[in-house]
């Protein structure tokens, strides 16, 4: 039996702001529990729903020195679910509030505390991991702590670490004196070949330098981040550590995202009756959103953050021309005010075509996955992307830019060979995107049988965690002596 420990800042079903939470929620329970004792350490946020917090069990508490901030309280709570034991680091000073993240300066102090506490509780709970799997910048200093301040403690000998990059753009950067204050790490850690980054300290860089292995969430993104355009200033380090870097595509939870059993849908369906099921969901959602109920119009969806990274500058450039075609455009998400206001304007001026849902609602998102004909994802970069995987599962055809995980998971439609599961375009260019959307419309309206075949191929793809979990298991096994 090998001991695997996940350390992360969020996890479904306790707290979620993005795809990181989905991964940390799904991967541990997908591993083979006859071979791996899997545990997860998370912050005990007060915003975790009470239905879970009320079931947490008190384990222990102690005081830990945190750099030059003195001794701080560390409480340990536990909870078990789906064969996985979860530990929550309890400290209301750091983890109170109605959301998990806030001001970056405050977050850096909180996650320095969290990363050190995650190591400090291990002797208390008597769990010696063979591998600690760290996720994103919030846990970046954990491998640094392990190889410095915890190095002489025999309990921590033999522990290997993996650092997974979910989005390289976010790195946890602040000035060196502040990081020294919060961590108490030795001066040699803050050198250019370790945590120093443009005269500041970079938490993610520290994790990448000290980790035994680096993974990211698709093969294409693993290659892209070794190049300056995608490397966010760390491409040189990632090229230097290329022999320890690999990409494993995320999966999705097939219990949660299953059109045959999804409780949020108006009508459940599968690959045998998807034509009827999607038509019923489309009609009901059109009615719910105040759009004309039209079974024949192509419904194009976006479920995303409204930011440039997600390609909204491209959408802005062509939206007027796109709406001149026969289309209904439904968006769910929040983000930059200029894009929120852009969508509100178009909903007001083109009420029969546009529905702007400037919030996130899980129920409506599930209904849109089921109702839409196509899902637009024109990302500038996309480490993996889960939206296209869920879309394929629900028979909604992805229209994507060929980057990162989008390239790895969506097979471009070939009308001559009768293959493919979606549509794609190569360059980050608004007119190229629009041309691809128009091509998708042409297939939808003029070659409906070919479109339906593509829908069925997409629904038959397997993007559950089963295959990805096997690759992580092989990675863990390679690290365990």
**In the predicted model, what is the mean pLDDT of the chain?**
96
User: For position 255, what pLDDT does the model report?
Assistant: 87
CA separation, residue 77 to residues 126, 138, 298, 339, 452 (Å): 14, 20, 49, 41, 50
Q: How many CB atoms lie within 10 A of CB 446?
A: 9
Among candidates 389, 382, 249, which has minimal Cα distance to 311? 382
> What local confidence, expressed as pLDDT, does residue 326 receive?
97
Q: What is the largest CA-CA distance in the chain?
A: 70
User: In the prediction, which pLDDT does 19 show?
Assistant: 84
Q: Are strands 423-425 and 397-401 parallel, antiparallel or unpaired?
A: parallel
Dist CA 207 CA 166 (whole Å): 13
Spell out the domains of the chain, with CATH numbers in brackets: 2-251+466-479 (3.40.50.2000), 274-462 (3.40.50.2000)
- Mean pLDDT, residues 337-342 taken together: 97
- Would the pLDDT of 40 be above 80? yes
Contact call for residues 286 and 292 (beta carbons, < 8 A): yes
CA–CA gap between residue 140 and residue 475 (Å, rounded): 19
Q: According to the model, what pLDDT value does residue 187 have?
A: 96
Output the pLDDT for position 190: 97
Q: What is the pLDDT of residue 480?
A: 85
In this prediction, residue 217 carries a pLDDT of 95
Backbone angles phi, psi at 135, to 5 degrees: -125, 120
The pTM score is 0.92
Banded pLDDT at 481 (limits 50, 70, 90): low
- For residue 360, the model assigns a pLDDT of 85
* Mean pLDDT (whole number) for 53-75: 96
Q: Tokens at residue 16, please?
A: 């979620």
User: Can you give the pLDDT at residue 253?
Assistant: 87
Tell me the average pLDDT across 197-207: 97
Whose structure tokens read 């508490």? Answer: 61
Given a cut of 70, whether residue 346 has pLDDT beyond it is yes
Position 384 confidence tier, pLDDT thresholds 50, 70, 90: very high
The 10s digit of each residue's pLDDT in 91-150 is 999 999 999 998 999 999 999 999 999 999 999 999 999 999 999 999 999 999 999 999
**Beta strand 327-332 pairing with 298-303:** parallel
| Cβ atoms of residues 377 and 311 within 8 Å | yes
User: Binning pLDDT at 50, 70 and 90, where does residue 225 land?
Assistant: very high
pLDDT of residue 251: 93
Q: What is the mean pLDDT of residues 358-369?
A: 94
Pick the more confident residue, 283 or 254.
Answer: 283
Residue with tokens 């970056």: 104
d(CA 11, CA 24): 5
More confident residue, 362 or 223: 223
Which two structure tokens, joined as six digits, stand for 338? 């200029």
pLDDT of residue 17: 87
Tell whether the model's pLDDT for residue 151 goes beyond 90: yes
Question: Regarding beta strands 84-90 and 71-81, do their DSSP bridges make them parallel or antiparallel, or are they unpaired?
Answer: antiparallel
3's CB contacts (< 8 A; 6+ apart) are: 36, 37, 39, 127, 128, 129, 130, 131
The average pLDDT across 296-310 equals 96
* Share of residues in the chain with pLDDT > 90 (%): 96
């Amino acid at each position: 039996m090998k001991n695997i420990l996940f350390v992360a800042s969020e996890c479904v079903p306790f707290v979620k702001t993005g795809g990181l939470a989905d991964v940390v929620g799904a991967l541990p329970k997908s591993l083979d529990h006859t071979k791996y004792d899997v545990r997860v350490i998370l912050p005990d946020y007060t915003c975790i729903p009470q239905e879970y917090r009320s079931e947490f069990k008190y384990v222990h508490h102690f005081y830990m020195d945190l750099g030059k901030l003195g001794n701080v309280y560390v409480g340990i709570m536990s909870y078990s679910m789906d064969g996985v034991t979860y530990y929550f680091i309890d400290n209301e000073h750091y983890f109170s509030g109605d959301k998990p993240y806030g001001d970056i300066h405050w977050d850096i102090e909180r996650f320095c505390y969290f990363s050190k506490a995650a190591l400090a509780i291990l002797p208390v709970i008597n769990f010696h991991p063979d591998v600690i799997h760290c996720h994103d910048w919030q846990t970046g200093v954990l491998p640094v702590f392990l190889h410095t301040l915890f190095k002489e403690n025999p309990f921590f000998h033999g522990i290997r670490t993996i650092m997974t990059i979910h989005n390289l753009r976010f790195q946890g950067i602040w000035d060196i004196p502040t990081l020294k204050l919060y961590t108490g790490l030795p001066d040699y850690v803050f050198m250019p070949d370790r945590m120093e980054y443009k005269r500041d300290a970079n938490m993610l860089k520290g994790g990448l330098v000290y980790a035994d292995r680096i993974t990211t969430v698709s093969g294409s993104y693993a290659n892209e981040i070794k190049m300056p355009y995608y490397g966010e200033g760390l491409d040189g380090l990632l090229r230097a550590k290329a022999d320890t870097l690999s990409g494993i595509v995320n999966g999705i939870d097939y219990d949660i995202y299953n059109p045959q059993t999804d409780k949020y849908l108006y009508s459940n369906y599968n690959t045998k009756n998807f034509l009827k099921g999607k038509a019923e969901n489309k009609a009901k959602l059109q009615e719910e959103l105040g759009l004309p109920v039209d079974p024949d119009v192509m419904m194009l969806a976006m479920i995303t953050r409204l930011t440039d990274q997600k390609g909204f500058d491209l959408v802005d450039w062509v939206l007027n021309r796109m709406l001149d075609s026969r289309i209904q455009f439904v968006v769910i998400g929040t983000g930059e005010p200029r894009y929120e206001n852009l969508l509100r304007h178009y909903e007001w001026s083109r009420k029969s075509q546009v529905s702007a849902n400037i919030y996130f609602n899980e129920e409506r998102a599930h209904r849109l996955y089921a109702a839409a004909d196509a899902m637009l994802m024109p990302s500038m970069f996309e480490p993996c992307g889960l939206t296209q995987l869920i879309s394929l599962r629900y028979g909604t055809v992805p229209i994507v830019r060929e980057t990162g995980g989008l390239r790895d998971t969506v097979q471009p439609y070939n009308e001559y060979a009768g293959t493919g599961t979606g549509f794609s375009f190569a360059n980050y260019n608004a007119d190229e995107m629009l041309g691809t959307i128009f091509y998708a419309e042409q297939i939808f309206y003029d070659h409906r049988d070919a479109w339906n075949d593509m829908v069925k191929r997409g629904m038959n793809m397997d993007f559950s965690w089963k295959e990805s979990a096997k690759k992580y298991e092989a990675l863990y096994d390679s690290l365990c002596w």
